[in-house]
Amino acid sequence: WTCNLDKDIEDLPDLETYDAKNDTVERRDEIAGAVYAQIMQIESRLLPCGLHTVGVPPSADEAVATLVNIAQLDRPEDGIEGIPRVIAATVGRDINDVYRGNNNGVLADVELNEKITMASRAAVSALVNQSTDGNGRVKEVKNMFDEVGGFFGGLVGAKKPWTQAIIDAGFPDVSEERLAPVFAYLEFCLKQVVANNELPGIMELLNGQFLMPAPGGDPIRNPDVLPTGRNMHALDPSAIPTQAAVEVAEDVVRKLLEKLADENDGAYPE
């Protein structure tokens, strides 16, 4: 098997002639960080899980893989911070700076990024494991924010399972309150992932009945494409400018052209 790391990593020395003994510690760390970052990038990709069987709920591992990727993204329009951002803040770092250092092969940031990634995965696994059956599949999602359970847990000072998982992964100062929005969102997404709509949807179509439409696309960036089993379409109405937006844009462009013409003796730009 060939990894092609020499082609994927810039400025990687020739392994046939390179002698680490004659190199500086800083340069060796830089090389190790670049190689480690590339390996972690390959490892973290959402690899295909094989062909999906209609009507079969996802395994716990498949659900975790999907939710970990959903949890990486900030969703400011919904007031949701990604898990990596919340974890990075506990050590006084901005996750974007960690990513930047990781991509540049800074060994300390590569190691921190890997530690954050593993903590995120452990936290999401704690969420999914609560709803995993004896066959390792998720058929029904248990409410992780049950008020009664939360009340009694608070009385004894117990942390939520995902918070405890992050603490155990080496981030003891993580804020449970700050994690609450993203895990409420992940619980909602998990319910959509495991929703049993596929076989009923097929039967509705075979019976000539109306099947609710839904947007297509990447469930990581837009979980609204879930659950599956609906009449998927490529056109997303929410992404199309409204008539009001078009009218505003026309007015802005008209004023811009008029300004350019005034500054150019009445001649419009070509």
The pairs formed by 140-146 with CB atoms below 8 angstroms and a separation of 24 or more are 140/194, 141/187, 141/190, 141/191, 141/194, 143/187, 144/183, 144/187, 145/184, 145/187
- Residue 117 CA to residue 124 CA, distance in Å, equals 11
- Which amino acid is it at 67? L
Nearest residue to 150 via CA among 123, 185, 122, 176 = 176
Pairing of strands 231-233, 213-215: parallel
* C-alpha distances in Å from residue 212, one per residue of 86, 201, 222, 267: 36, 9, 18, 52
Q: Which residues contact 67 (CB under 8 A, 6 or more apart)?
A: 124, 127, 128, 186, 189, 190, 193
**Token pair for residue 240?**
């199309």
pLDDT tens for each residue of 146-171? 544 555 455 556 889 999 999 999 99
Better pLDDT: 235 or 80: 80
- Which amino acid is it at 62? E
pLDDT at 2: 54
Percentage of the chain beyond pLDDT 90 is 30
pLDDT tens for each residue of 27-81? 888 888 888 877 777 666 555 556 678 888 788 888 898 899 899 989 888 899 9
